[in-house]
A = this chain, B = another copy of it.
Amino acid sequence: MMKLVPIAPLDTDPVPDLCRACKARNRGICGALNASQLSELTRRAHRQVVEPGKTLLDAEQPTSNYSNVLAGVVKLSKMLPDGRQQIVGLQFAPDFVGRPFSPESSLKAEAVTSTVLCTFPRQLLERMISESPELEHKLYLQALDELDDARDLLLTLGRKTARERVATFLLMIARHSPHADGNDEGGTGFELPLTRAEIADFLGLTIETVSRQLTKLKGSDVIRVEQNRRIRVPDMELLEAETGD
């Protein structure tokens, strides 16, 4: 079930406003907007809470909306005609999701977890970009970061073993985890936002291989699996040593 609520104007919003938080922390696209742009965005954007599986962008049909991730995780994936699938990127708050200057994006964006989004019309964004070099600069920086991420993943898919891939993935999630608890009860704990099937699609493996490698990492005392989705890493350096880099 998806909720669509206009984002309250900045000055009058009675509840903690994620978008304002974004602006204050200079994150997301809001961070790059001037007062009048921000007020226009605030009027025309919607705060959206979507459940896992909800599609934000689709390679097939043109989408007229872009989003900023305010909380949660979004996956970007590509599919072959015969159904084989590859996740080519994960977006965390406060990433921007969209492909400016191109009518259709060739990839699908889908909520992985329950996700809070700030959604706005594509054309509004593109107009704002043309008005605001600072906004474009911000988006450029994010694109460069995504490029770095994609290329790291290329190295992982092209040259790492299954065990190294899984370790690399766990490390990445650990580093993105907001509340990766410190060293209470030994080590760092975090929640996996993806199912095993999604991890497999991200790492270019099968679900069985992912499962087996997790079991083996557990056997080597690199990780503990507290629940299916809850992982604990007693010693982060041990995990890093498993990534191959």
Contacts and interface: CB of A to CB of B under 8 A. Distances in A.
Copies per assembly:
2
Contacts of A154: 78, 86, 88, 150, 153-154, 157
Nearest to A245: B80
Interface stretch (A20-28, A29-37, A134-142, A231-239): A134-142
A85 B78 CA distance: 24
Interface string A98-128: 0111100011000000000000000000000
Nearest to A243: B80
Contact of A159 (B89, B144, B147, B204): B204
Given A136-B136, A140-B140, A86 B147 contact: no
Contact of A88 (B78, B88, B136, B151): B151
A136 B140 contact: yes
B159 A84 contact: yes
Looking at A81, A102, A146, A159, the one whose CB has the most chain B CB atoms below 10 A away is A159
Interface string A223-244: 0000000000000000000001
A100 to B, nearest CB: 7
Interface of A: 76, 78, 80-82, 84-86, 88-89, 99-102, 106-107, 133, 136-137, 139-141, 143-144, 146-148, 150-155, 157-160, 201, 203-204, 244-245
